[in-house]
Structure 1
Amino acid sequence: MDHKILLSESDIPKKWYNIAADLPTPMLPPLTADGTPISPESLAPVFPMNLIEQEVSTERWIDIPEEVLDILYRWRPAPLRRATYLEKYLDTPAKIYYKDESVSPPGSHKPNTSVPQAWYNKQFGIERMTTETGAGQWGSALSFACSLVGIECRVFMVRISFDQKPFRKIMMQIWGGNCVASPSTETAAGRQVLDANPDTPGSLGIAISEAIEAAVSDQSGKTRYGLGSVLNHVMLHQSIIGLEAKKQLEMVGEGLPDVVIGCAGGGSNFAGLAFPFTQDKINGADIEIIPVEPTACPTLTKGPFSYDYGDIACMTPLMPMHSLGHSFIPEPIHAGGLRYHGMSPLVCQCVVEGLHTPQALDQMECYESALLWARTEGSICAPETSHAIAAAIREAKKAKEEGKEKTIIFTYSGHGLMDMTGYDAYLSGKLSEYHLPDEEIARAEECLKNHPQAEQRKTGKW
């Protein structure tokens, strides 16, 4: 039995997979505030044109530049591991595999897109990037990437995570990133939020507004914004996860998995593993594909499918997605990377089509699963990753109840060695179950009712 399935460096994927080429019903277009489809040119103040071309592309395969591969070789191909010790503990007939993205220098899957984003910005003549970060993993990853390609990085970090995770800020500083708590006094968007609520814990929607404002207000034209999830080009870059995983499963004689799982905040980690397998499902494979989110921020499971802004100041285009409303301020749960009000439009279209079946799990079950994982497999996972582990444990128990052999695969999206405050809160009994109240869903529906309607277009095949 193989515990670690390793590819050689020559086996690293040379192209990214773009699911936009294969969607049975294409996703709706992003819109301007007046309801007209956006043009690529309208995005130019925010993103470099070479990334905008990827954002709007419907080509199935897009070449990975050699210079980008040269940076990715620092940790890729990433291992595929089998959770044999957890399988034994659960006494399950299921095989549980996990793609270990914690091996990157910043410790998560995020550099899979931060590296190409920084590289493409550099090629376009950009000298500095701004961004937001929730739990700090994206801010760390972009700081890392910018340091390698030689451009500046400024990170607006959601205030509650800025306070809970001080070592993330230090990581960014080590790689030359400049990290500030959001909302801040540095932008008009931040000052407006602080005037209304000085004690706000912040949100990704607020931090995005600040980061975009900081980018577009630079009169030199040498600053652009980078986003760690949600957008199409981010999903594209993350597809390297699933493409490697397919090769690794083949190496140990596995066919396609029965169940594919990933935690879902904005969608990038989940989509990175899931989209290459979604292509197989579109082509007839029988695979259950599960994005897992917190019950505290149930975007896919309870959020209406609507057009909404990606940020609180309405600086982004209107995007077709499941949303809890762009003004949503989440509870300060410790899975900071899973607190975004919206979701990748590509993931949402897959959910609308029936290709993906989302689940929402409570933080207590997830931390319980994280401890079981640490006491069987040994590693300490990120709070975000614990959602995928909890869902995998559920599926493994179901396989035992049904007496069926199943192959389960999920993304181990990051380590938890800088998330000890969350573990401490759980172990000391300070955490409790939290499900977003129905009145919050009603508030989201009220927030969205004046936006353009998003038609749920689907074939009905799944």
Structure 2
Amino acid sequence: MYSIRLTEDEIPKKWYNIAADLPVEFPAYDQTEEGKQLENLPKIFSKGVLEQELSTERYIKIPKEVREAYKQMGRPTPLVRAKALEDHLDTPAKIFYKREDTSPTGSHKLNTAIAQAYYAKQDGIERLTTETGAGQWGTALSLACNLMDMDCTVYMVKVSFNQKPYRKTIMQLYNGEVLASPTTQTEFGRKVLAENPDHPGTLGVAISEAIEDALNDEKVYYSLGSVLNHVMLHQTVIGQETQKQLEIAGETPDVMVACVGGGSNFAGAVFPFMKDQLDEKINCKFIAAEPSHCPTLTQGDYCYDFGDTAGLTPLIKMYTMGHDYIPPSDHAGGLRYHGMSPLVALLVHEGLVEPRAVEQNDIFKSGVTFARTEGIVPAPETCHAIKVGIDEALECKKTGEEKTIVVNFSGHGLLDLKGYDDYLAGKLD
């Protein structure tokens, strides 16, 4: 059985909230005395997502309208056996990949974009602002806002804005406004440019600009594509579908891998399985694959820090490189973030998740291998997970173990061909 598909009726009816099952207490968000960042949250987030952000309820019902939109956007997604890749590697391991690239926007991001747009619409909001790195999140929110008859403003990290022009085109097709961050349209953007006119932009700066925009208009909310608890929650449709699909295949995962930038696709893929692990129903290794260019989990500090550069977000306990960190301008723009989901960070700190940093040339090499065997071009971000999945399969080749490896295929790379072109030409660092 190569491709395991579920029916539309099998889309999960509830999101899974791992906050109910954490092995230790979740570190509360904090604020500075002068910043009052917590007090600003109701001004920039919908009532629905704020309730979910702070909830410890194990399962939260998915609204009917959101489930209908999930169906329209192609859920459930397939789970595929990577038999050709297995044969190429000559490994006894079984490799499966969950195809989140089959959505109209080509990645997992619609799972939370639809939910966040829905709750904002319920509050009577007219526009959402957001940041985006490589463009997958900005594309997803532009489409979700268009579905809900709302406007969308996307502050896109300048280096990615220049590297990936067709991401901008797609956002505009979905009626999104796209600005290269830092911009001259916000006070913080102007401050950054005054200090460094050639600033390449970072997700931290783009978040600051998007929040400032939302704070200045009562008909506008801000929407975040990763990091926060409600975003992790919405993505758990991925893992819940995968549980059903592996059951159909008669398999139990031994290794689960996903890439991490802010943590959303990783959380979505593994959190439902993490519950099984905590309940001692499975014995699985969970690996979070990050870029060596921005090694938040493997080299960052576990401490309280702002989620943005200007300090408009609450203080969050997470692994961080520092909120003013400017990562190198590599091609995995979706993973160039200084911090990490506090939920993912907590599980790493408790030793339940293994972080692993991988080099840029190695991830593109793995992407080429995957494309030539399975026929699908992975996004550079996704290639980090594929690289680690291949490493685990090759380890099985050495040991003879017949492990089941599950990789979350978070998005396709058909709009990221400049990176592949540079790799094939030998131009990458």
TM over 0.5: yes
Q: Distance in 2 between matches of 1:337 and 1:140?
A: 12
- CA-atom RMSD in angstroms: 1.2
**1:120 match:** 119
Is it true that 1:341 corresponds to 2:338 in the alignment?
yes
Q: Distance in 2 between matches of 1:33 and 1:358?
A: 30
Question: Secondary structure at 2:318's aligned position in 1?
Answer: strand
**1:281 match:** 277
C-alpha distance 174-36 of structure 1, shift in aligned 2 (>3 A)? closer
Q: Is 1:299–1:322's contact at 8 Å kept on the other side of the alignment?
A: yes
Q: Is 2:37–2:312's contact at 8 Å kept on the other side of the alignment?
A: no
Summarize deviations over 1:244-267 as a string: whole Å, max 9, x none.
00000001111x200010000000
Q: Distance in 2 between matches of 1:125 and 1:192?
A: 32
Amino acid of the structure 1 residue aligned with 2:149: G
Summarize deviations over 1:332-353 as a string: whole Å, max 9, x none.
0000001100000000010111
Amino acid of the structure 1 residue aligned with 2:398: E
Amino acid of the structure 2 residue aligned with 1:307: Y
**2:425 match:** 428
Amino acid of the structure 2 residue aligned with 1:199: D
Moved runs in structure 1, 4+ residues, more than 2 A? 34-39
Is it true that 1:370 corresponds to 2:357 in the alignment?
no
Summarize deviations over 1:341-390 as a string: whole Å, max 9, x none.
00000000101111101000001110000001111011111000000000
**2:347 match:** 350
**2:12 match:** 13
Compute the displacement of 1:59 (Å): 0.3
Q: Distance in 2 between matches of 1:132 and 1:100?
A: 24
Q: Distance in 1 between matches of 2:40 and 2:209?
A: 19
Is it true that 1:63 corresponds to 2:90 in the alignment?
no
Summarize deviations over 1:263-295 as a string: whole Å, max 9, x none.
000000111001111111111231100000000
* Matches for 1:304-453 after TM superposition, within 5 Å: 304-432=301-429
Find 2:46's aligned residue among 25, 45, 48: 48
Summarize deviations over 1:375-425 as a string: whole Å, max 9, x none.
101111100000000000000001111111100001111110000111111
Compute the displacement of 1:38 (Å): 7.3
Compute the displacement of 1:35 (Å): 10
TM-score with structure 2 setting the length:
0.98
Is it true that 1:299 corresponds to 2:308 in the alignment?
no
* Matches for 1:157-172 after TM superposition, within 5 Å: 157-172=156-171
Is it true that 1:185 corresponds to 2:181 in the alignment?
no
Question: Secondary structure at 2:261's aligned position in 1?
Answer: coil
Amino acid of the structure 2 residue aligned with 1:268: S
Q: Distance in 1 between matches of 2:333 and 2:75?
A: 26
Compute the displacement of 1:204 (Å): 0.2
Compute the displacement of 1:200 (Å): 1.2
Summarize deviations over 1:217-253 as a string: whole Å, max 9, x none.
11xx110000000000000000000000000000111
**1:264 match:** 260
Q: Distance in 2 between matches of 1:281 and 1:355?
A: 9
Q: Distance in 2 between matches of 1:27 and 1:293?
A: 23
List alignment gaps of at least 5 residues for structure 2. none
Q: Is 1:306–1:322's contact at 8 Å kept on the other side of the alignment?
A: yes
TM-score with structure 1 setting the length:
0.91
**1:73 match:** 71
Summarize deviations over 1:78-105 as a string: whole Å, max 9, x none.
0001100000000111000010000101
Q: Distance in 2 between matches of 1:216 and 1:34?
A: 18
Q: Distance in 1 between matches of 2:420 and 2:89?
A: 23
Q: Distance in 1 between matches of 2:283 and 2:250?
A: 18
Q: Distance in 2 between matches of 1:405 and 1:417?
A: 32
**1:196 match:** 195
Summarize deviations over 1:418-440 as a string: whole Å, max 9, x none.
001111111111112xxxxxxxx
Percentage of identical aligned residues: 56
Q: Distance in 2 between matches of 1:262 and 1:48?
A: 29
* Matches for 1:236-255 after TM superposition, within 5 Å: 236-254=233-251
Compute the displacement of 1:37 (Å): 10
Amino acid of the structure 2 residue aligned with 1:280: D
Amino acid of the structure 1 residue aligned with 2:271: F
Q: Is 1:138–1:228's contact at 8 Å kept on the other side of the alignment?
A: yes
C-alpha distance 431-59 of structure 1, shift in aligned 2 (>3 A)? same
Q: Distance in 2 between matches of 1:294 and 1:79?
A: 26
Q: Distance in 1 between matches of 2:34 and 2:180?
A: 33
Q: Distance in 2 between matches of 1:34 and 1:184?
A: 28
Is it true that 1:225 corresponds to 2:222 in the alignment?
yes
Q: Distance in 2 between matches of 1:277 and 1:292?
A: 17
Q: Distance in 2 between matches of 1:76 and 1:35?
A: 44
Compute the displacement of 1:26 (Å): 2.0
**1:436 match:** none
Amino acid of the structure 2 residue aligned with 1:23: L
Question: Secondary structure at 1:358's aligned position in 2?
Answer: strand
Q: Is 1:29–1:38's contact at 8 Å kept on the other side of the alignment?
A: no
Q: Is 1:281–1:355's contact at 8 Å kept on the other side of the alignment?
A: no
Q: Distance in 2 between matches of 1:354 and 1:36?
A: 33
Compute the displacement of 1:34 (Å): 3.5
Question: Secondary structure at 2:241's aligned position in 1?
Answer: helix
Amino acid of the structure 1 residue aligned with 2:256: V
